[in-house]
Amino acid sequence: MKALHSNILKLMDNIINKIAANIHAFSTSDKAFTRCRKLNVVDLIKLILNMGAGSLNSEIFHAFPDMNLRMTTSAFEQQKAKLKPECFKEIMLELSRESTTLQLLDDKYLVVAIDGSDFDQPFNPKSKNIFNNNEGQVYCQIHVNALYDVLNKLYLDLIIQPHRKMNEREAALTMLENLDKREKDFLVLMDRGYSSFNLIENCNILKNCHYLIRTKAGYGAIKEIAVLPEHECDIDLSCKVTSLHRYYMIHKDTEKFLHLIHHKKHHYKAVRSKNTYDQRWDF
């Protein structure tokens, strides 16, 4: 286990040094990090990655016990402001790409899971992430959609959205399309919030994608699933969908399982039919 941790730390050092050598691709200005500062870019990145739950002064104190090497909190904030968030996403992606001895299911499938979580931010009245909850409280919140390698305990991708504009299915599709480009078979696990005809059909089309999506069994479920027997079974189901409202109205009583969805060309409509099951159809 110690050897594993040592190898990961060496890999992280190599990745951070690689990022630092190309820091202008991840800084807010071409002039950033050009002058010699007490807090260089390598130490800045490591300090941010190693921070715990203490105050900023406390974290800096523990990271730099030698007072001659320690900087002020103001100096840290000025250096941190020069870094783009993409810097840390690139570190995560590089770490997952450099892991060559990945554990696979049946020596074939990369097992991944997708889910989303909300994170509060320090309040900033100018932030694009301001969110009003049902109780009238105003605060800043983001929604993080993450793609996680279950067997190897690695985050492979993430998409950050303002909470009020979050779209978990769209984020999931983007991450799955990125993963599919690796040309390796993968099995993705998704919870009930991802169940939709559009995402299912996109997963069907992706070359290397195999998927397992949990879905509701009662009210609000896909009708074909709602009538399944209350015991373990393995059944092929076919779902018929249409984006034509007229066709749906004519045939909905004679065709037992018929679903009305909206094609992307119809998304300009402010009000959709109450019969609409899904608000997006890419095909």
pLDDT in tens, 210-265: 999 998 876 666 778 877 888 888 888 888 888 888 888 899 888 878 888 866 55
pLDDT in tens, 122-165: 888 888 888 887 777 888 999 999 999 999 888 999 999 998 88
pLDDT at 144: 94
Q: Give domain limits for the chain.
A: 2-89, 102-215, 236-283
Cα 171 from chain centre = 6
DSSP string over 49-99: HH--SS-HHHHHHHH--STTT---HHHHHHHHTTB-THHHHHHHHHHHHH-
pLDDT at 179: 94
pLDDT at 244: 84
Q: Please, are residues 144 and 166 in contact by the beta-carbon 8 Å criterion?
A: no
CA-based nearest residue to 186, from 221, 166, 157: 157
Whether 267 shows a pLDDT value over 60: the answer reads: no
CA distance 104 to 46: 30
Average pLDDT of the residues in 113-117 = 96
Strand partners, 259: 241
| Best CATH choice for the domain 102-215 from the list 3.40.50, 3.30.420, 1.25.40, 3.30.70 | 3.30.420
Whether 106 shows a pLDDT value over 80: the answer reads: yes
pLDDT at 280: 77
pLDDT at 283: 81
Higher model confidence: residue 250 or residue 276? 250
**Whether this model's pTM surpasses 0.85:** no
CA-based nearest residue to 150, from 194, 185, 186, 100: 186
